[in-house]
Amino acid sequence: MATTSSDLPVVLTIAGSDSGGGAGIQADLKTFQEHDVFGTSVIVALTAQNTLGVHGVHEVPADFVTAQLDAVASDMDVRATKTGMLATSELVHTVVKGIRRHGLTNVVVDPVAASKHGDALLAPEALATVRDVLLPVATIVTPNLGEVALLTGVEVTGTDDLDKAAEAMKALGPQWVLIKGGHLPDNLEAVDLLFDGERMIEIATARSASTDTHGTGCTLSSAIAANLAKGMDVPSAAQVAKDYITGAITHGLRIGAGIGPVDHGW
Ligand code: PLP
């Protein structure tokens, strides 16, 4: 049967813009396009950024974040939403109010704290707001190990600690947790752990040697949101998204002089 435009699932990203095109809103929209879903966006902050780092951040006023969110959610049937860089405590509160006001479901939270270069993308005082206000509305949260440490105090040094991290993150209120173990050293595999309070599901892929990894977190969480919008359950959405990000990293692009972007369209 031919697909009509009204069959296209609408997906929303609420995140920061990356002028370099590898992460943030730009990565999210490219990922949505590759997944045959219709991407919409609420831009929370602009970054002046390239493959060498973040050179400036300009936050969007909270009332204009609300205006964007209300415009999209009042008109379109948003099937899944992902959040990325939210910059400040005030903006986290604003976004969560919007998610609640519109009853948005399939909420994928990438608790972005810093860029790959270590540039701050979340004010330190906003961490508590992410933990206390945003995580309880998450269908799934997708922290890397640095974000786990910041949010829970749990330090993961090996694959054996991933379950401790999953339990600590789950206690903060999301329905599902996906701990990304890809930053663990000396592993032949990149092992992630998915947990809903009962099921611990290991998702492992061969580790890619590419160092062009800018946008990995954004791309993975967007792929999960796209898969949820198409009707997959959370374990399937995460597994299929992991295969997609593994390919995108393996085909990492040598663009720019620094950390190149993953290839969304591999
Ligand atoms: N969001 C924005 C706007 C960013 O600029 C970045 C990284 O620079 C991120 C999110 C996180 O990027 P990554 O997916 O590489 O963790």
Q: What are the helix (H) ranges across the chain?
A: 24-34, 62-75, 89-101, 127-129, 145-152, 162-170, 216-229, 234-250
CA of 1 to the centre of ligand 1 (A): 38
Beta bridge partners of 97: none
Go through the domains of the chain in sequence order and give each one's CATH number.
Answer: 9-250 (3.40.1190.20)
φ/ψ of residue 145, rounded to 5 = -70, -30
Asked whether the ipTM of the predicted complex exceeds the cut of 0.95, the reply is no
Q: Mark whether 13 is an active-site residue.
A: no
Q: Mark whether 159 is an active-site residue.
A: no
The pLDDT score that the predictor gives to residue 186 is 60
Q: Which atom of ligand 1 is nearest to the CA of 219?
A: 14
| pTM of the predicted model over 0.80 | yes
CA of 19 to the centre of ligand 1 (A): 11
For tokens 């173990």, the residue is: 181
Q: Contact, 117 vs 259, CB < 8 A? A: yes
pLDDT confidence bin for 208, thresholds 50/70/90: confident
φ/ψ of residue 185, rounded to 5 = -75, 160
Q: Tell me the per-residue pLDDT of 145-181, one tens digit each, with 9 for 90 and over.
A: 999 999 999 999 988 899 999 999 999 999 999 999 9
Nearest alpha carbon, ligand 1 atom 12: 215
Those residues whose C-beta lies under 8 Å from the C-beta of residue 190, and which sit 6 or more positions away, are 181, 182, 204, 205, 206, 207, 208, 246
Of the residues 218, 222, 262, 263, which should be mutated to test ligand 1's pocket, given the most ligand atoms within 8 Å of the CB? 218
φ/ψ of residue 88, rounded to 5 = -135, 165
